[in-house]
Amino acid sequence: MSGIWGKQLQVAIFGESHGPAIGITISGLPAGLALDEDKILVEMARRRPGQNELTTPRREEDLPDIVSGYFNGHTTGAPLTALIYNTNTRSKDYSQMRKLMRPGQTDYPALKRYDGYNDYRGSGHFSGRITAPLVFAGAVCQQWLDQYGVTIGSRVCSIGEVKDQAELDFQKLSREDLLAFRQETLPVLTEGLAEEMARCIRQAKGQHDAVGGIVETYILGLEAGYGNPFFDSIESTLAHLIFSVPATKGIEFGAGFEIASMRASEANDNFYYDDQGQVQTASLNNGGIVGGISLGTPINFRTAIKAPASIAKAQSTINIESHENVELEVTGRHDPCIVPRVLPVIEAVTAIGLMDLILTRS
């Protein structure tokens, strides 16, 4: 099982959902980076479970305990390791998962991949709980990216069938806009739509079901010339990390799949100089990236997040001990929608990917 990602910057995640702790080790951080611990805690709180009725009732403080690589308020250059302790586990809720395979969950493939030795409590190492250390790492990387003027922010495009039809004007998008998104549980462009999305989540929860959604992420301030063609393009780097976030089922940059129906004259993002003499593009069909390399304009991509698989509604499945077809109603504490808590996770892995790309070029 591989839990390591990166080249110049490497992150190694560890732990299980119902183990004593989860955590991460970050290697390759420059020495002398001053960390604002309060800003880190703000990001951790955005992802923390048990916030409100739209999330799992499991309550965890998610306070990272930095145990190495940090001294007198600065990184030392040694690997930075943080532990996040699990304090509110209820493993008995998963006693049935030893033999009953949850549809849409990792129980069956993990069983086959690891010969039955996998920790099935709360999905073990496959759990979205393991994204908490990624948010810690992303918060650290974002503070390093601040010196380059790079800002990352996300909004919600849809929850279930509820869609935000408003278009975002990327040419007027500011750092303040992206930071404002972070203040909202469901950041949207259309006034009042967040409550409609919240009702959609509550309705699914009341019916013992769950819903998914689409998140759009923007990157501002990344200069032209970062990234590489082919295997280390910005798209392939970010896609690798985004697909490492549980529940991700799709990603598209710029116009996404719609670009396939455009002629080149429509799809090409025409260049021009703005009033300050800076190179800009008239559109964002290619997502601010061409040839795997940044154009210096905003970068955007959308991530499709599926509905959480563990639901109390009856589903057909198998009993691997009796080899029978059975029905299963999943018990335990689960999110009715991942989207509200996935926003900081997507931003975090984006920050990790961008920092590695910048360090690789340096």
DSSP collapsed to 3 states, 147-196: HHCCEEEEEEEEECCEECCCCCCCCCCCHHHHHHHCCCCCCCCCCCHHHH
Tell me the backbone φ, ψ of residue 301, rounded to 5 degrees. -155, 155
Which of 300, 304, 208 has its CA nearest to residue 247? 304
92 in a known ligand binding site: no
333 in a known ligand binding site: yes
Which of 38, 39, 40, 34 has its CA nearest to residue 75? 34
125 in a known ligand binding site: yes
213 in a known ligand binding site: no
Q: List the Cα angle 150/151/156 in 5-degree steps.
A: 150
Euclidean distance between CA atoms 330 and 2, whole angstroms = 29
154 in a known ligand binding site: no
153 in a known ligand binding site: no
126 in a known ligand binding site: yes
247 in a known ligand binding site: no
291 in a known ligand binding site: yes
310 in a known ligand binding site: yes
308 in a known ligand binding site: yes
Q: Residues for the chain: how many in total?
A: 362
Q: Within its chain, how far is the Cα of 19 from the centroid?
A: 22
Q: How many helices (H) and strands (E) does the chain have?
A: 8, 18
Pick out the residues of the known binding site: 47, 125-127, 291, 306-310, 333
Pick out the residues of the known binding site for NADP(+): 47
Pick out the residues of the known binding site for FMN: 125-127, 291, 306-310, 333
